[in-house]
Structure 1
Amino acid sequence: MQELGRKLTWAEKSSLALRRHHPELKDVWGDVESGIPIVVPERAEQPAGLKVTLLPFQRESLFWMRKQEQGIWHGGMLADEMGMGKTIQMISLFVSDLKRPNLVVAPTVAIMQWRNEINTHTEGMKVLVWHGASRVNNPKELEKYDVVLTTYAVMESCFRKQQNGFKRKGLIVKEPSPLHQIQWNRIILDEAHNIKERQTNTAKASFELQSNYKWCLSGTPLQNRVGELYSLVRFLGGDPFSFYFCKKCDCKSLHWKFTDKKNCDDCGHSPMQHTCFWNNEILTPIQKHGIEGPGRIAFKKLRILLDRMMLRRTKIQRADDLDLPPRMVIVRRDYFSPEEKELYLSLFSDAKRQFSTYVDHGTVLNNYSNIFSLLTRMRQMACHPDLVLRSKTNGTQFLGSDEAGEATICRLCSDIAEDAIQAKCRHIFDRECMRQYLSTAGDMTPDCPICHIALTIDLEAPALELEANVPSARQGILGRLNIETWRSSSKIEALVEELSNLRLQDNTTKSIVFSQFVNFLDLIAFRLQKAGFSICRLEGTMSPQARDATIQHFMKNVGVTVFLVSLKAGGVALNLTEASRVYLMDSWWNPAAKAMDRIHRLGQYRPVQAIKLIVEDSIESRIIQLQEKKSAMVDATLSTDDSAMGRLTPEDLGFLFRVCPLFLDVLDFADL
């Protein structure tokens, strides 16, 4: 203590207590640093069975992956930036070691892409897409394939039926999970950040899979908080980093074992005496101290670990190998019309007044659900007033017979719930909206945004299967509007202007339009079709086969020049290199949702532009600045930078609600 010149922190006191009963932890970081060498990538030989020629940096990763499998981790994280060919790099590893079976777990939209790439670039590999109600359940049959492709939802469903069972004729029946009965050769989690929340059923299902080697693929292994890396380390089997330790005895477990919530099932000591090594050594110091003192030490520890588990290259670092065309990000700034400005100002003043009340009463942390809803309404108002004024906010969740065919409504954004899940209190939300909502709440357990009881919801539960959720029957917001008198918005007209000018320059250039709000895509589609554009759409309710067919239709038809994509459905695992323009219609909380990387990737030969459409003097301009803050946090953790940022804090919320310059002469608010 005298050497430190300060009092020991709680985490440091816990570390001392742990070392008394767990001597292997005494110098664990020194042991890792000195005992586990960092694999320096060299160029491997081109695999004989691979039809595509690997780029130099891809041959380096093949060498690195082989070495990692021979080392203590038996795998690792391949975290190359999006668009650098992580899929083909992993296929090259399959080809270089033809042992079967291998399991790939990926988002639904990526399954068919994996199948297509394996069939295109290999000879004779047997691939099974294990998805849908007719899938075989005999593990012996699955073992006959070189690669089995499935989704996170299917993996979670199988695990849940095995652990908790399901009702059949009034009885609870447990069904063994075929995925969990097999000793796989390799397991690959594509877009591995899907397991970032350690308490979800999906994360738990992935932890219980058995294999010789394990890999995490993600261009964004860290999206919001350092704590999200825990699940990836846990999946890879990092010992002791993933374990819970008792400070009173030598009890050690990968699981939190407190059946009665009072005493450890193994040693009998209380929960207060048990701590997760990751939390104690890395997460807690960074959360509490940032980059100062104990936080800086924790960052150094994290770097020691990641340097030995993760390989990450960026497009800028490997520009010579990739030979990608130039890319440009353009921020187009437009202004509200007088009518839009009046509506936004009214909404903003109400929201600001409500937020100020929370600040005055010191209840900001207790009102995340209300604040999230306020911010979402302001984002929607900046897109088109009808998204707020014509939203479906009644309490029934479904429309009556007069509007049959309308889809399920998310109670957070009042938009279509493309991937609907239900909380224990029976309120329905879109999975991605709820994921964002929980990420803003950080480590708190927030209330339900509707009934405000403690929120209990499984982010990885299967989507609700409701006839009303069939997209072909959905009328959407257009069914609630008078089309004859409907007026466009400043932002939609800005998009029409951009696309019209592009069409005059080259009528074969293809564009992708991204939005989080499906109702907004409905309005955009209506306006673009009136302007003579041929469009197609990708939505979250589509099956893997329907998604693949839609993508192929866009890629192969010259006349289809605009692809409307829901960020919830197509923000990850899409390869759309036929397009060379991306239009981002609304600001996304998470900067990791880099839509431009859907087109700026291997196979792209045209210069790429991403145009962000921003309405000045709205909440959007502040969200852009918060995105930059989050990006700095990601860069700090995944690079050697010694600075980091946390989750959406009360200070961040205050920043969002500060008055914009346009309103200074109208509203006299003090900065929060």
Structure 2
Amino acid sequence: MRLRSRPSSSSAQGKQSRQYQDSSDEDDLLSISSDSDYIGNSDEDVADEVVNLTEEVVCSNRTKRNGGKKRIETKEDQGEEEEHVDWVMNEVGRGGEVDAGYLQLIGRIEDRKKIREKNQKKRPTLLWEIWEEENDSWMAENYPNDPDFNSQDELVTETAQPPSDLIMPLLRYQKEWLAWALKQEESTARGGILADEMGMGKTVQAIALVLAKRELGQAIYGSSLLSPAPCTSQELPAVKGTLVICPVVAVIQWVSEIDRFTTKGSNKILVYHGANRVKNIDKFAEYDFVITTYSTVEAEYRKNVMPPKEKCQWCGKSFYEQKLSVHQKYFCGPDAVKTAKQSKQQSKTGGKPSKLKKNPIEGDSEIDTGKRGRGKGIKHKSETDAGSVDDSACAGQDMSMRKSILHSVKWNRIILDEAHYVKDRRSNTTRAILALESSFKWALSGTPLQNRVGELYSLVRFLQIVPYSYYFCKDCDCRVLDYSSSECPHCPHKSIRHFCWWNRYIASPIQSQGNRGTGRDAMVLLKHKILKSILLRRTKKGRAADLALPPRIVTLRKDSLDVKEEDYYTSLYNESQAQFNTYIQAGTLMNNYAHIFDLLTRLRQAVDHPYLVVYSSTAMARRESTNDAGSVEQPCGLCHDPVEDPVVTSCTHVFCKSCLIDFSASVGQVSCPSCSKPLTVDFTANDKGDQKSKATIKGFRSSS
């Protein structure tokens, strides 16, 4: 038997000396010498090495549990250490090679086992503890398999024939998907994630699944519904249709592909989008495909399911109840006090701090109830204000009785196209999608993971994978899908006693440890147990034989700016650099990172075309605010006298109208006399000089 070490990512290859890390973290890998140093060692020497290594793991674990502080060992600690050493020796005494990472995994599993045994003395074993033990057993069996996170496009031997209503022939990998998807809908997952690379026909594959399942259901049960899953709320009526949720630009694509690749008249399609959409639940039962957009689902959920917003009495803006308290605590009202970080943030309106509304004068009922806010729709009479409060109260009472049309039925199947739209679990769009009910759920996305592992949770939560999408209570068998910060609706324990399984065993270890220790355990668990059971991904490179695509030709073209464009970009770059330096000198760089992104965006737009910056909505608003504040008389940029019949150019310079006309006629150029930027001015203003008229150019529309 040989003791073999797995080198950590931070250790340099080629070291032959024996090393142990001094870190007290139980997840740090212990690196020892290579195999060549132990060729001549006897079995007794190997046993000593195993004991020494195990003692270090146990000592590291004990230090970890004590918060990094050393304490005097008791007889009980020594007994636990001896039991742990004997247990590890029994594990490695079966023969074969053992690495340090595996020994540390065994140590972590043993620590969790002892914690469970202590809890079992106080209360019965909970369901989440049983699942934790199953995960530990799975990790102990599968850890020696080195996870290759780059392996893809594994050939699936089982295929399925396309349905008869599909007139387009399927490629081999698409037939493999069809067979895999049919099995998935009969499994406990009741769905999955199709993460094929863009351009490999995810839409056609999803259509093939719907038609194949409908054909199979008609053959067995004489209905398009096949073995429906139990519904969480039995009162919802079930419909046979498949709800397809996609971006607005993909609606026409779904409709056209269903018409092109299926038998004419075999499918009825309803596009549920727009202001004139039919809001009738009975209509859904007549269609096979109901296609809608993420914005439509979010709008119906926000209007019918979410509680109404409340208006701030100081500024008139509408907020939800929780956000309103934060708004009035830090930003608005006489008692609002910004934190030190918030005070360093620069306002987008020009860097000046916003002025708070003064406290209403006591005894003046008209001021107190009327002119408090500047927002639209603010009432200016006490009677109307009182009526609006009553209306909002009635709306809040009726909110529980109303429900969105899409959320009022149980769909046979829900398909999310471009499923990364719901990667933010806290957004209203994600909440609206997660509130939908169906028998089967599918997510289509070429990029299910874009920035961090936590984005996968939204898809896991959508599929309702047990136990990874649930919140569990540490003291009872309570489990919920959505976390409540106030109190748990299913048990008397506080919300702080609940934990998210995904965060505890997947997201947090990877974020804190990376590819070592518990982070590596989480990666193995994520790839080989979770994603392997719910996700299928193929790439064009891996399935080149099936696609038979012509070779890709990449053509590089180098463009350059002309003299005027380069001058404008240089001036904008210098201005952005000066603004960036002010943040550095003031020490507020990290408090204004959003403004830094704005500066970079402006530079990128200037490379495309200067008008994207000059005529953007932000620049227009800045010019209007400058013109509104122009009550002070300004000198003309040409004659340097007080301006007469003022004209404001697109670059916010002021000239006399006659001076600017004479200058343009004499010189014959169309650049500003002050800054040499392209000159654009509106001479159609009234005689009084309308300072609020926007500078426009023919054929150009203001961008965002």
TM-score tier by shorter-chain length is 0.5 to 0.7
Q: Give the 5 Å matches for 1:118-517.
A: 118-123=258-263, 124-164=266-306, 172=395, 174=399, 175-259=402-486, 263-267=487-491, 269-304=493-528, 305-337=530-562, 339-352=564-577, 354-355=579-580, 358=583, 363-393=588-618, 485=670
Find the residue that maps to 1:366 and give its secondary structure. Answer: coil
Find the residue that maps to 2:244 and give its secondary structure. Answer: strand
CA distance in 1, matches of 2:557, 2:64: 50
Deviates more, 1:242-251 or 1:146-155: 242-251
Quickly say closer, same or farther: Cα 1:394–1:384, change in 2 above 3 A.
closer
Answer yes or no: is the 8 Å Cα contact 1:152–1:202 preserved in 2. yes
Deviates more, 1:297-306 or 1:307-316: 297-306
- Structure 2 residue aligned with 1:23: 129
Find the residue that maps to 1:103 and give its secondary structure. Answer: strand
Answer yes or no: is the 8 Å Cα contact 1:41–1:61 preserved in 2. no
Structure with greater strand percent: 1
Question: What's the offset of the Cα at 1:331?
Answer: 4.1
Question: What's the offset of the Cα at 1:336?
Answer: 4.2
Which of 159, 175, 182 in structure 2 is aligned with 1:59? 175
What amino acid sits opposite 1:81 in the alignment? Answer: E
- Structure 1 residue aligned with 2:234: none
Superposed CA RMSD in Å reads 4.2
Question: What's the offset of the Cα at 1:51?
Answer: 0.7
1:82 aligned to 2:203?
A: no
What amino acid sits opposite 2:434 in the alignment? Answer: F
TM-score (norm 2): 0.52
Find the residue that maps to 1:332 and give its secondary structure. Answer: coil
CA distance in 2, matches of 1:147, 1:32: 41
What amino acid sits opposite 2:202 in the alignment? Answer: K
- Structure 1 residue aligned with 2:213: 97
CA distance in 1, matches of 2:213, 2:510: 40
Question: What's the offset of the Cα at 1:210?
Answer: 1.4
Between Structure 1 and Structure 2, whose CA radius of gyration is higher? 2
Question: What's the offset of the Cα at 1:89?
Answer: 0.7
Structure 2 unaligned spans of 5+: 1-25, 27-55, 68-107, 120-125, 143-153, 215-223, 225-239, 310-387, 628-649, 654-663, 673-695
1:113 aligned to 2:253?
A: yes
CA distance in 1, matches of 2:294, 2:574: 42
Question: What's the offset of the Cα at 1:388?
Answer: 2.8
What amino acid sits opposite 1:223 in the alignment? Answer: Q
Structure 1 unaligned spans of 5+: 403-476, 488-521, 527-538, 542-565, 569-672
- Residues 536-569 of structure 1 show CA distances to partners (whole Å, capped at 9, x for unaligned) of xxx9x9xxxxxxxxxxxxxxxxxxxxxxxx9x9x
What amino acid sits opposite 2:465 in the alignment? Answer: G
**Which has the higher relative contact order, 1 or 2, with Cα contacts under 8 A spaced 6 or more apart?**
1
Quickly say closer, same or farther: Cα 1:372–1:133, change in 2 above 3 A.
same
Answer yes or no: is the 8 Å Cα contact 1:162–1:176 preserved in 2. yes
Which of 57, 70, 76 in structure 2 is aligned with 1:3? 57
TM-score (norm 1): 0.54
What amino acid sits opposite 1:67 in the alignment? Answer: K
What amino acid sits opposite 2:410 in the alignment? Answer: Q
What amino acid sits opposite 2:543 in the alignment? Answer: R
- Structure 1 residue aligned with 2:357: none
CA distance in 2, matches of 1:368, 1:87: 39
Question: What's the offset of the Cα at 1:118?
Answer: 1.3
What amino acid sits opposite 1:26 in the alignment? Answer: E
Quickly say closer, same or farther: Cα 1:186–1:391, change in 2 above 3 A.
closer
Question: What's the offset of the Cα at 1:267?
Answer: 4.4
CA distance in 2, matches of 1:76, 1:202: 20
Answer yes or no: is the 8 Å Cα contact 2:305–2:404 preserved in 1. no
What amino acid sits opposite 2:551 in the alignment? Answer: P
Which of 142, 150, 161 in structure 2 is aligned with 1:45? 161
What amino acid sits opposite 1:3 in the alignment? Answer: V
What amino acid sits opposite 2:601 in the alignment? Answer: T
Quickly say closer, same or farther: Cα 1:399–1:70, change in 2 above 3 A.
farther
Answer yes or no: is the 8 Å Cα contact 2:162–2:212 preserved in 1. no
CA distance in 2, matches of 1:250, 1:303: 27
Answer yes or no: is the 8 Å Cα contact 1:41–1:64 preserved in 2. no
- Structure 1 residue aligned with 2:46: none
Answer yes or no: is the 8 Å Cα contact 1:41–1:60 preserved in 2. yes
CA distance in 1, matches of 2:114, 2:407: 37
CA distance in 2, matches of 1:357, 1:293: 43
CA distance in 2, matches of 1:161, 1:230: 26
Find the residue that maps to 1:26 and give its secondary structure. Answer: helix
The number of residues matched between the two structures is 413
